[in-house]
C-alpha cells in the first residue's frame, strides 16, 4: 500500500479556513438524466420542505416551470420571515446557443455572526445532461469574528441526491456509502479511470473477520458524513476487495483503510499511486472526528478549485429584485374588545396608532445584566440552560452564574482583544466570576467561594486571574470548533496545534486527567465529582479530572472542567480555586 499522505502536517497559515480565517463554503456540482423541468420541480420541493422545517414558513409555489428555449422568468425576492429571503430567477444562458436555460434559487437566512446563503442552480444546454450546482456559504458582518472551519453539508443535499439519481460523469453520486460486491468491481475500476470524472471517489475496505454491513454502519458511515455531494462513496466487501486489488495493484486498499482516488487514475503507474491518499484504520479508530475532517479536506479543496462546466459558467450574475412579503393565509375576523384611548386612536387616528406601535418596537432592548445579577434572577425564576436542544437546570453553589438561555449556536461572542475588549482582562477573581457570562459555550456549575478566596491570597497579583481568563478564552474558542466537529482532537491537542488567529494557552498547563493515585483514592476522587446538569449525568455529578494549571507550587490554583461538546454542546467548569487534595498537597 502506498504511504499515507495527509494535509494535517502542513504548517498553519494565517489565511487558512477555520477559527482564524474565512469559512470554506460547500460546493456541489452534479448532473442528472432528468429533464430540466423535472429536476427544478424536485429542487423546489426539497427547498420548500427544508424552509418549512427550519423556519416555519413555506414559500409560495413558483410559476409554471419553463424548459430550455423559453424566455426569461422575472426575478422575484420573497421575504419569508425575519431576515429570511428567497430569490428566484431564470432565463436563457449568457453567450450560449439558443436552447440553453437556467433557473436559480437563493435562500438567505440569519446566522450568529452574519448570514448563511444557499444557492441552487439548475442549468441545461442545447444538448447534454441537466446540471445542478448547490453552494452554501457563511457571510460574516465584520472582522475578528469566530467562524467554523467549514460550512456543513446542507440537509437539502442529503434529500435531493437520491431523488435526482445524481452523477459525476460515469460515477453515481450518492448521499451515503454503498457496499460493493465482486460483480461491481469492473464498473468501479472503469469509473476511477474515466477521464470525464471530476469528483474524487472514496473507497473503504473492511477488516478481516468483520462483516461489511457492520463496518459500514459503525465506522464508514460516520466517517463519510461530511462527503455527500463531494465524492463517490463505496465499501468493498471481502470478495470485492480481492478483485479490486488485483485490478489496481498500485492503488490497492485493504485492512480497514480508506482511500481517496483523485481524478485521472492511471492503473499502470506505480508513481500515480502516490497521488491518492490513504487513511489507515488505526488513525480512524484513534480519533474518528479528526479522521472525518481529514477525509473531507481533499474533496472540499477540489470542489472549491474546480472550474465550472461551460453550461454553468454561462449562468448570469443574480440581480435580486425588491423584497416582497410572502402572502399570509387570511385569518378569520375575531372581535376585539375596545379599551379606552387605544381604541379611540385605532378608530379615529389609525396613522397615530401605527406610529405608536412603530415607536414601541423601535425602543432599544434593555442591556444585559451582569453575570451575577443574571444568576440571581435565573435562580429566582427557576431558569435553566438550553443544552443540545434540551432544557437542563444547572446545579451549582451559591451565586453560580446561570448559563445563557439561548442556544449556543445563536449566541454572539467576541474575544477580548489586547486591551480587554468588552471590559479588559480581569485582574481579580471577583471581576472574572462576574463576567463568566461572556463565554456562551462555558457553564460554571461550582461554588464561587473557592475562586473569590484567591483574591485574598494576592500571591501573584493579577497574574492568576489573567491566566484563568486566558484559559477560559481558549476553552470557548475550542468549544466553538468542537461543536462543529472542527477541533481536531481534545483541548490538549487544540493547545498544541492552536489554529492561526486563535488565543493560545500553554499546552503544558492543559492536563487531560488526574493520576491513577487520585482515581484510586476515594476522598480525593470525591472532591473532583463536581456538579453538572441532569441532562449530562442523571446523578448531577461528574468526575472532572481534566484541568488547567493556573500557577506553580503547592497552593497553585486549578480550573477543573468537563468537555461535553460532543453531547450537550458545552463545557462545564466545576471548580476554580486552590489545588485540590493530592499527594503533593498533603
Helix/strand/coil (H/E/C) assignment for every residue in 519-538? HHCHHHHHHCEEECCCCCCC
Burial environment of residue 535 by CB neighbours within 10 A (0 to 12, 13 to 18, 19 or more):
buried
Note the pLDDT tens digit of each residue in 554-586.
Answer: 567 889 999 988 778 899 999 998 888 775 554
CA distance 444 to 531: 9
What pLDDT score was predicted for residue 319?
A: 75
Please tell me what DSSP assigns to residue 218: I
How many CB atoms sit inside 10 A of residue 155's CB?
Answer: 13
pLDDT band at 65 (very low <50, low <70, confident <90, very high): low
CA distance 117 to 119: 7
Q: Give mean pLDDT, residues 435-445.
A: 93
How many CB atoms sit inside 10 A of residue 129's CB?
Answer: 18
CA distance 409 to 484: 10
CA distance 530 to 433: 17
Please tell me what DSSP assigns to residue 110: E
Please tell me what DSSP assigns to residue 150: B
Please tell me what DSSP assigns to residue 87: E
Residues 6+ away with beta carbon under 8 Å from 534:
392, 393, 540
What pLDDT score was predicted for residue 553?
A: 59
Q: How many CA atoms lie within 13 A of 45 on its CB side?
A: 12
Alpha helices in 56-184 (DSSP H): 155-164
What pLDDT score was predicted for residue 72?
A: 64
Alpha helices in 102-200 (DSSP H): 155-164, 185-193
What pLDDT score was predicted for residue 221?
A: 92
User: 478 pLDDT exceeds 90?
Assistant: yes
pLDDT band at 296 (very low <50, low <70, confident <90, very high): very high
Note the pLDDT tens digit of each residue in 383-409.
Answer: 344 333 333 444 333 333 333 333 333
Q: What share of the chain is helix, strand, coil (3-state, %, to 5)?
A: 35, 20, 45
Residues paired with residue 132 on neighbouring β-strands, in sequence order: 30, 122
More confident call, 410 vs 428: 428
CA distance 153 to 462: 45
Q: Give mean pLDDT, residues 173-195.
A: 92
What pLDDT score was predicted for residue 113?
A: 66
Residues paired with residue 207 on neighbouring β-strands, in sequence order: none
Residues 6+ away with beta carbon under 8 Å from 539:
none
Q: Give mean pLDDT, residues 343-353.
A: 42
CA distance 534 to 538: 5
Note the pLDDT tens digit of each residue in 191-246.
Answer: 999 988 999 999 999 998 888 888 999 999 999 999 999 999 999 999 999 999 99
pLDDT band at 97 (very low <50, low <70, confident <90, very high): low
Q: Give mean pLDDT, residues 180-186.
A: 93
What pLDDT score was predicted for residue 424?
A: 80
CA distance 244 to 186: 8
8 Å CB contact between 73 and 91: yes
Backbone dihedral angles phi then psi of residue 41, each to the nearest 5 degrees: -65, -40
pLDDT band at 147 (very low <50, low <70, confident <90, very high): low
What pLDDT score was predicted for residue 458?
A: 60
Reference 23, options 560, 501, 520, 556; nearest CA is: 501
**Angle, vertex CA 127, rays to CA 126 and CA 130, nearest 5:** 95
Q: Give mean pLDDT, residues 256-264.
A: 93
Q: Give the SS3 label for residue 172.
A: strand
Alpha helices in 185-280 (DSSP H): 185-193, 212-215, 221-223, 238-247, 270-273
Supply the DSSP string of 397-423, one letter for each residue. STTPPPPPSS-GGG-------TT-TTT
Reference 86, options 410, 329, 319, 320; nearest CA is: 320
% of the chain surpassing 90 pLDDT: 38
Q: Given the DSSP bridges, would you call strands 101-111 and 84-92 parallel, antiparallel or unpaired?
A: antiparallel
What pLDDT score was predicted for residue 284?
A: 93
CA dihedral for 496, 502, 506, 510, sign (positive or negative)? negative
Helix (H) or strand (E) holding 463: helix 463-482
User: 412 pLDDT exceeds 70?
Assistant: no
pLDDT band at 340 (very low <50, low <70, confident <90, very high): very low
Q: Give mean pLDDT, residues 336-355.
A: 41
Reference 122, options 36, 183, 59, 201; nearest CA is: 36
- Give the relative orientation of helices 238-247 and 185-193 as an angle to the nearest 10 degrees: 40
Q: Distance between alpha carbon 348 and the CA centroid of its chain, in Å? A: 53
Note the pLDDT tens digit of each residue in 481-512.
Answer: 888 878 888 899 999 999 988 988 998 889 88
pLDDT band at 85 (very low <50, low <70, confident <90, very high): confident
User: 322 pLDDT exceeds 50?
Assistant: yes
Burial environment of residue 478 by CB neighbours within 10 A (0 to 12, 13 to 18, 19 or more):
buried
User: 343 pLDDT exceeds 80?
Assistant: no
What pLDDT score was predicted for residue 400?
A: 38
User: Which grid cell sits at 555?
Assistant: 497552593
What is the average pLDDT score of the chain? 76
How many CB atoms sit inside 10 A of residue 99's CB?
Answer: 15
More confident call, 560 vs 96: 560
Find where cell 452574519 sits: 114
What pLDDT score was predicted for residue 392?
A: 47
Amino acid at each position: 500500500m502506498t504511504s499515507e499522505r495527509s494535509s494535517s502536517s502542513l504548517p498553519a497559515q494565517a489565511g487558512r479556513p477555520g477559527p482564524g480565517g474565512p469559512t470554506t463554503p460547500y460546493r456541489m456540482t452534479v448532473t442528472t438524466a432528468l429533464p430540466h423541468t423535472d429536476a427544478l420541480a424536485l429542487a423546489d420541493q426539497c427547498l420548500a420542505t427544508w424552509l418549512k422545517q427550519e423556519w416555519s414558513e413555506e414559500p409560495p409555489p413558483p410559476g409554471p416551470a419553463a424548459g430550455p428555449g423559453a424566455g426569461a422568468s422575472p426575478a422575484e425576492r420573497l421575504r419569508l420571515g425575519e431576515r429570511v429571503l428567497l430569490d428566484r430567477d431564470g432565463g436563457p444562458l449568457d453567450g450560449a446557443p439558443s436552447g440553453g436555460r437556467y433557473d436559480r434559487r437563493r435562500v438567505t437566512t440569519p446566522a450568529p455572526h452574519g448570514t448563511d446563503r444557499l444557492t441552487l442552480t439548475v442549468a441545461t444546454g442545447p444538448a447534454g445532461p441537466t446540471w445542478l450546482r448547490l453552494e452554501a456559504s457563511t457571510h460574516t458582518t465584520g472582522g475578528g469574528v469566530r467562524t467554523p472551519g467549514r460550512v456543513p453539508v446542507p440537509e437539502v443535499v442529503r434529500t435531493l441526491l437520491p431523488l435526482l439519481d445524481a452523477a459525476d460523469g460515469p460515477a453515481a453520486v450518492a448521499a451515503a456509502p454503498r457496499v460493493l460486491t465482486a460483480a461491481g468491481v469492473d464498473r468501479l475500476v472503469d469509473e476511477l479511470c474515466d477521464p470525464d470524472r471530476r469528483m474524487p471517489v472514496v473507497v473503504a475496505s473492511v477488516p478481516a473477520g468483520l462483516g461489511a454491513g457492520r463496518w459500514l454502519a459503525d465506522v464508514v458511515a460516520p466517517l463519510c458524513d461530511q462527503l455527500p455531494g463531494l465524492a463517490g462513496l463505496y465499501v468493498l466487501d471481502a470478495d470485492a476487495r480481492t478483485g479490486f486489488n488485483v485490478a489496481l495493484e498500485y492503488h490497492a486498499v485493504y485492512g480497514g483503510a480508506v482511500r481517496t482516488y483523485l481524478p485521472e487514475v492511471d492503473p499502470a503507474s506505480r508513481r500515480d499511486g502516490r497521488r491518492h491518499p490513504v487513511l489507515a484504520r488505526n488513525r480512524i479508530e484513534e480519533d474518528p472526528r479528526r479522521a472525518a475532517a481529514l477525509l473531507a479536506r481533499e474533496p472540499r479543496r477540489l470542489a472549491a478549485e474546480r472550474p465550472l462546466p461551460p453550461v454553468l459558467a454561462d449562468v448570469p450574475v443574480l440581480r435580486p429584485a425588491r423584497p416582497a412579503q410572502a402572502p399570509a393565509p387570511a385569518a378569520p375576523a375575531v372581535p376585539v374588545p375596545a379599551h379606552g384611548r387605544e381604541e379611540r386612536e385605532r378608530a379615529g387616528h389609525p396613522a397615530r396608532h401605527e406610529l405608536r406601535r412603530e415607536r414601541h418596537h423601535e425602543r432599544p432592548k434593555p442591556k444585559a445584566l451582569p453575570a451575577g445579577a443574571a444568576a440571581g434572577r435565573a435562580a429566582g425564576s427557576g431558569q435553566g440552560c438550553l443544552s443540545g436542544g434540551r432544557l437542563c437546570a444547572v446545579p451549582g453553589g451559591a451565586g453560580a452564574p446561570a448559563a445563557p438561555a439561548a442556544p449556543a449556536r445563536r449566541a454572539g461572542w467576541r474575544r477580548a482583544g489586547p486591551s480587554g475588549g468588552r471590559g479588559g482582562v480581569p485582574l481579580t477573581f471577583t471581576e472574572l466570576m462576574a463576567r463568566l457570562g461572556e463565554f456562551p459555550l462555558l457553564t460554571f456549575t461550582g461554588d464561587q467561594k473557592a475562586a473569590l478566596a484567591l483574591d485574598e491570597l494576592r500571591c501573584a497579583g493579577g497574574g492568576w486571574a489573567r491566566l484563568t481568563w486566558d484559559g477560559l478564552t481558549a476553552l470557548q474558542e475550542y468549544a466553538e470548533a468542537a461543536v462543529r466537529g472542527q477541533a481536531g482532537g481534545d483541548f490538549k491537542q487544540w493547545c498544541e496545534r492552536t489554529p492561526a488567529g486563535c488565543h493560545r494557552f500553554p499546552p503544558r498547563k492543559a492536563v487531560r486527567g488526574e493520576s491513577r493515585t487520585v482515581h484510586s483514592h476515594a476522598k480525593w476522587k470525591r472532591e473532583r465529582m463536581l456538579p453538572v446538569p441532569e441532562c449530562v449525568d442523571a446523578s448531577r455529578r461528574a468526575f472532572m479530572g481534566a484541568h488547567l494549571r493556573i500557577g506553580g507550587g503547592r497552593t497553585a490554583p486549578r480550573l477543573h472542567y468537563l468537555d461535553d461538546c460532543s453531547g450537550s454542546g458545552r463545557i462545564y467548569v466545576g471548580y476554580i480555586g486552590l489545588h485540590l487534595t493530592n499527594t503533593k498537597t498533603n
